[in-house]
Amino acid sequence: MIVETQSARFDSISLDCGAVLAPVEVAYETYGELNSARTNAILIEHAFSGDAHAAGISHDGGKPGWWDNMIGPGKAFDTNKYFVICANVLGGCKGTTGPQSINPATGAPYAMQFPVITMSDVVRLQKMLVEHLGITRLLSVAGGSMGGMQALEWAVAFPDAIASAIPIATTARHSAQQIAFNEVGRQAIMADLDWNQGNYYGTKPPARGLAVARMVGHITYMSDDSMREKFGRRFQDKDEALPDFSKVFEVESYLRYRGSQFVDRFDANSYLYITKAMDFFDIANGHGSLAAALERATARFLVLSFTSDWLYPTYQSLEIVSALRGRNRDVAFCELPSNYGHDAFLVDVGEQTELVRGFLASTLRSKP
Amino acid sequence: MIVETQSARFDSISLDCGAVLAPVEVAYETYGELNSARTNAILIEHAFSGDAHAAGISHDGGKPGWWDNMIGPGKAFDTNKYFVICANVLGGCKGTTGPQSINPATGAPYAMQFPVITMSDVVRLQKMLVEHLGITRLLSVAGGSMGGMQALEWAVAFPDAIASAIPIATTARHSAQQIAFNEVGRQAIMADLDWNQGNYYGTKPPARGLAVARMVGHITYMSDDSMREKFGRRFQDKDEALPDFSKVFEVESYLRYRGSQFVDRFDANSYLYITKAMDFFDIANGHGSLAAALERATARFLVLSFTSDWLYPTYQSLEIVSALRGRNRDVAFCELPSNYGHDAFLVDVGEQTELVRGFLASTLRSKP
């Protein structure tokens, strides 16, 4: 399945911060065919560092999509049955308007002049894209981590526009610990002199700071167990030399590699804007409480968490489930066993596939 | 109790890496009186960023010691009964020889020419200090976190020189996750251009990198729960303004403050050397296995962990306990309930006090 990222352009979007972004572009991909009744569309929401390339093999570069194990013919999001859409988020750096986009007012990249964005802005832009594609009502909105936040936001902001939501390994709002980890990443970037208050486009990006930020992220995405299984206390070089700074543990080498690799594919200012949007996100914002917010949602819900995910622990999913049940909403919940930590929703997809497949089929039957 | 840090100087010490450090100084404090039989001495081991000032009020500055709630008249380490010693570790920056000390060969600070050190080196220097103070056998060696590693090292390296050991919230070896967190700190420091390959003495230290490293540390020292209780999602400013980068969560403000504060009291190169020594530490080193290493230990053990400590989780204490029990050693273990995470051994000392007090008293009775 060779896929190509497409782009839609809109005149403007009004943001929660009061600013208007004009014009605004959205990068997206689609897989499968929209049926004639336009009732089989599913919106996939990517996590923090994801992009529109969720499935298939990219036209340029040949890279598989980030959820290719979940989306495709016969897979959980079965493209023989469903029309699947994935868009890069607002503020991102993979084709959708973000800090590195040209500010028409200046002819230069926005950098830190880019307006502050929220998950609500992100989802509002997606709504414009979905309408642009001729779809009034989505069969489902699904995503893990930050993708799950967007699924929740859809359910509350546009209850009539979705039949179901699948928030995975996510939360209704970041805890102090989650904000703290994001803040460390931001401070690492801003501590890098090459960041230069965000004005590094065309010169050297803050590669060292961004790499450190990514290293912290990777630790939180894995579990203590999965790191033990993958690296243990093995050294990169096998020699039993005396203690020395050049003796590097495999886990150190892995993190350094992943950190430096990230610099080639992600924009540091997008890191700042998107993590801030995650931290600001609280589904209760503007509604008074979690329960009052979720009362607005009429979609069916499938909420999933993973046993070893300590970044988005199960108790956060249960808060969502409990609030939905308290308002008599249709919600199924499973905590799936996995050693992979937060990464489980990306890599340990066996049971997740079965649950999503069944949930989508029953949604299609019950809400035609 | 006004206390003053003292200093002992030795001609040289041979290190595990093959280097000889000459001369070598140790900063230390003592509290209470050594009895005439010299049987009431207890060595307190500090954690990563600690120093010799464990108790009392410092002569210069008036600061209380880092374990002042545990050491003093009538406290867990009762200075009416015991003679308590605490020394800054080798490689440190609080009076003991470390990277910022003058290298006699060059007349300039060692910086990264300082030899790589191990926990075994750290403890060997402490042994020299203890002998210098005229003590052949310690009643106990006690410490939390990295302090617990030193207590274990004492028990294995100098079994005849200690009657008991109290390793708290610690491990026999760092897991991949613990190494990973330390590596993030190191990379943050080395990413700061002011680090300058370690040659920043007399100029600007790598303050931004060191602050980021410390922020990561602070997250790991607290628990999800304690951060929620302390900060929640409260903003630093109370106004309900629109989303903006200047809207800062209390937890962000706290971490920034603690990070910047750390720069004034800690040396970045010491950060590199000491964290590396922690990562290299494995009590099994040179003995083949954990059990074989701990078989050498003849001391009585009190091993403590805390329920919410996710940096040094209880399973790591249980590995130690299990290995000791397997060799029929005298070991008591308690997992103490606390929400304070790894910080619990420093701040939540109620039950810890009772357990340590009883253990020391029975050690004194059973091993005079």
Per-residue pLDDT of A162-210, as tens digits, reads: 999 999 999 999 999 999 999 999 999 999 999 999 999 999 999 999 9
The residue extents of the domains of chain B are 2-174+281-366, 179-275
Across the interface, whether the CB atoms of B180 and A233 are under 8 A apart is answered no
Positive or negative, the CA dihedral A78, A79, A85, A87 is: positive
Of A52 and A241, the structure prediction assigns the larger pLDDT to: A52
Contacts for A149-154 with beta carbons within 8 Å, 24 or more apart? A149/A119, A149/A278, A149/A281, A149/A283, A150/A45, A150/A89, A150/A119, A150/A122, A150/A123, A150/A126, A151/A45, A152/A283, A152/A294, A152/A320, A153/A119, A153/A120, A153/A122, A153/A123, A153/A281, A153/A283, A154/A43, A154/A123, A154/A126, A154/A127
Q: What does residue B339 show for φ and ψ, rounded to 5 degrees? A: -95, 0
Average pLDDT, chain A: 96
pLDDT, one tens digit per residue, over B244-296 is: 888 899 999 999 999 999 999 999 999 999 999 999 999 999 999 999 999 99
Q: Show Cβ contacts of residue A355 under 8 Å, excluding neighbours closer than 6 positions.
A: A302, A304, A332, A334, A336
Tell me what pLDDT residue B239 has. Answer: 61
Considering only CB atoms, which chain B residues are within 8 Å of A244? Answer: 17, 116
Q: Chain B contacts of A280, Cβ < 8 Å?
A: 243, 247
| Contact yes or no for B182/B278 (Cβ under 8 A) | yes
> Taking CA B350 as the corner, what is the angle to CA B349 and CA B355, rounded to the nearest 5 degrees?
90
Report which DSSP code applies to A241. Answer: P
| Residues of B classed as catalytic | 145, 309, 342
DSSP A232: T
Query: A36: which 2 tokens?
Result: 């004639």
Please report the pLDDT score of residue B238 as a whole number: 65
For residue A163, the distance in angstroms to the closest alpha carbon of chain B comes to: 30
* CATH superfamily placement of domain A2-174+282-366: Alpha/Beta hydrolase fold, catalytic domain (3.40.50.1820)
Query: What per-residue confidence (pLDDT) applies to A11?
Result: 98
- Chain B CB contacts of A282 under 8 Å are 233
Q: What is the DSSP letter of A172?
A: S
Output the pTM of the full model: 0.97
B2-3/B57-58 β-pairing: parallel
> By the 8 A CB rule, do A21 and A9 touch?
no
Taking the CA of residue A165 and the nearest CA in chain B, the distance in Å comes to: 26
Amino acid (one-letter) located at B192 = D
Q: What is the CA radius of gyration of chain A?
A: 20
Tell me what the pLDDT averaged over chain B comes to. Answer: 96
pLDDT (0 to 100) of residue A77: 98
Chain B residues within an 8 Å CB radius of A215: 180, 183-184, 187
Question: To the nearest whole percent, how much of chain A has pLDDT over 70?
Answer: 98
Comparing alpha-carbon positions, the chain A residue that sits nearest to B187 is A212
Q: Is B180 in contact with A243 (Cβ distance < 8 A)?
A: no
Report CB contact under 8 Å: A228, B177.
yes
Q: pLDDT means per 10 residues in chain B (368 residues)? A: 96 96 98 97 98 96 96 98 98 98 97 97 98 98 98 98 98 98 98 97 97 98 97 83 83 96 97 98 96 97 98 98 97 98 98 98 84
Residue A244: per-residue pLDDT? 82
Bridge-based pairing state of the strands A24-31 and A6-10: antiparallel
Closest in B18, B176, B188 to A232, CB measured: B176
Give every CB contact of residue B328 below 8 A, 6+ residues apart in sequence: none
Q: Domain A179-275, what architecture?
A: Orthogonal Bundle (1.10)
Q: Count of alpha carbons within 13 Å of B211, Cβ hemisphere only? A: 28
- Determine whether A194 is an active site residue: no
> What residue of B is the nearest CA neighbor of A117?
B243
User: Choosing from A101, A120, A140, A145, which is the catalytic residue?
Assistant: A145
Of A188, A208, A255, the CB nearest to B180: A255
Which of A16, A242, A259 has the CB atom closest to B242's CB atom?
A16
Distances (CA, A) of A294 to A165, A175, A282, A287, B120: 12, 19, 11, 9, 57
Strand duo B102-103 + B164-168: pairing:
unpaired
Cβ-nearest to A18 among B192, B242, B259: B242
Which among B18, B183, B252 has the least Cβ separation from residue A183? Answer: B252
Taking 70 as the threshold, does the pLDDT of residue A47 lie above it? Answer: yes
B244–chain A nearest CA distance, Å: 6
Q: Which of B113, B192, B212 to mutate to test the interface with A (most CBs of A within 10 A)?
A: B212
- Taking CB atoms and an 8 Å limit, are B227 and A313 in contact across chains? no
Gap from A330 CA to chain B (nearest CA, Å): 29
A239 annotated active-site: no
List chain B residues with CB under 8 Å of A313.
224
Contact criterion met (CB < 8 Å) for B16 and A177: no
Query: Of B112, B175, B251, which has the smallest distance from its Cβ to A180's Cβ?
Result: B251
CATH code for B2-174+281-366? 3.40.50.1820
Contact B188 A192 (CB under 8 A): no
In this predicted structure, the answer to whether residue A243 has a pLDDT above a threshold of 90 is no
Q: Which residue is catalytic, options A174, A305, A342, A343?
A: A342
Sign of CA dihedral A16, A21, A25, A27: negative
What confidence score (pLDDT) does residue A246 get? 83
Q: Which residues of B touch A259 (CB under 8 A)?
A: 187
SS3 B173: strand
Position A60 confidence tier, pLDDT thresholds 50, 70, 90: confident
List, for residues B157-176, the tens digit of each pLDDT value: 999 999 999 999 999 999 99
What per-residue confidence (pLDDT) applies to B1? Answer: 85
